[in-house]
Amino acid sequence: MLIKVINPNTTASMTEKIGACATAVAAPGTVIQAVNPTMGPASIESHYDEALAVPGLLEQIALGEAEGVDGYVIACFGDPGLDAARELARGPVIGIAEAAMHTASFLGRGFSVVTTLGRTAGRAWELAHRYGMAGFCKNVRACEIPVLDLEIPGSSARETITQECKRAVEDDQADVIVLGCAGMADLCRYITDQVGVPVVDGVAAATRTVESLVAMGLATSTRSEYAAPPVKQYVGLLDGFTVER
């Protein structure tokens, strides 16, 4: 089984970390291909960043289809381009926020999301409502840590995030913590040991979800909305995105 894990930003060090976390939970025989686009933002911290990350993400989906990839993980907590990716891919496509929230709902009566910047909290709440998880989500907490600070060796990010997770357990009465950024994936085990409740990393959760769907022979329904996009021409910078049959 070949699973492509796509970091929609262009920071290679984060992609390497995400790939390692996905590989650590993958079943024997599953090959993890961790990639990032060659164009787009270095990190995704706004609606503008998210919109400009989508073309590079879709390019990676198209390349994966040519390579025979079985399923995909979108490794950004905003789940950018998820609907469009499902229109292109033959196999299942799972976003890490989607997978993390559903996984957390299996483990307790409620979870809190601990994310990077406060300006992204609205997107996390929006996704909780979309995925039917708003009733489980007790809070979305921001640490006010820029995403790229997670890549700085020796930074205080780990302890800042851990303390916010502890506050979520104490103040929100959260049974489970959801880490709200793919760049936090490598902190999951450490934070679990510190806070004493299950901590869900969306990269791991999405990887195992895609594996399960592929193993069951399940793929996205193409009956209506997720059918392949209509054939038409794209021009200018998007010329290479023209859909053909």
- At 50-104, the pLDDT tens digits run 999 999 999 999 999 999 999 999 999 999 999 999 999 999 999 999 999 999 9
10, 106: one domain: no
190, 213: one domain: no
Domain containing residue 127: CATH number = 3.40.50.12500
pLDDT at 175 over 90: yes
101, 86: one domain: no
pTM: 0.96
- Per-residue confidence band for 242, with pLDDT thresholds at 50, 70 and 90: confident
- Give CA–CA dist 199/228, Å, rounded: 36
Residues 155-179: what's their mean pLDDT? 96
pLDDT at residue 75 in the model? 98
108, 158: one domain: yes
210, 197: one domain: no
81, 109: one domain: no
**174: helix, coil or strand?**
coil
pLDDT at 168 over 90: yes
197, 237: one domain: no
Burial class (CB in 10 A: 0-12, 13-18, 19+), 48: exposed
- Give CA–CA dist 33/133, Å, rounded: 29
- Per-residue confidence band for 153, with pLDDT thresholds at 50, 70 and 90: confident
pLDDT at 243 over 80: no
- Per-residue confidence band for 106, with pLDDT thresholds at 50, 70 and 90: very high
Structural domain boundaries, residue 20: 2-95+205-241
pLDDT at 240 over 90: no
Take residue 7 and report the two structure tokens written for it. Answer: 């970091």
pLDDT at residue 209 in the model? 98
29, 119: one domain: no
pLDDT at residue 85 in the model? 98
pLDDT at residue 245 in the model? 61
CA distances from 66 to 27, 34, 63, 90 (A): 24, 16, 5, 11
**Contacting residues for 86 by C-beta, under 8 A, at least 6 apart:** 93, 220, 226
192-230 pLDDT, tens digit each:
999 999 999 999 999 999 999 999 999 999 999 999 999
Q: What angle do CA 91, 22, 212 make, to 5 degrees?
A: 40
pLDDT at residue 149 in the model? 92
Residue 47 vs residue 155, higher pLDDT: 47
Is the sign of the CA dihedral 218, 29, 103, 120 positive or negative? negative
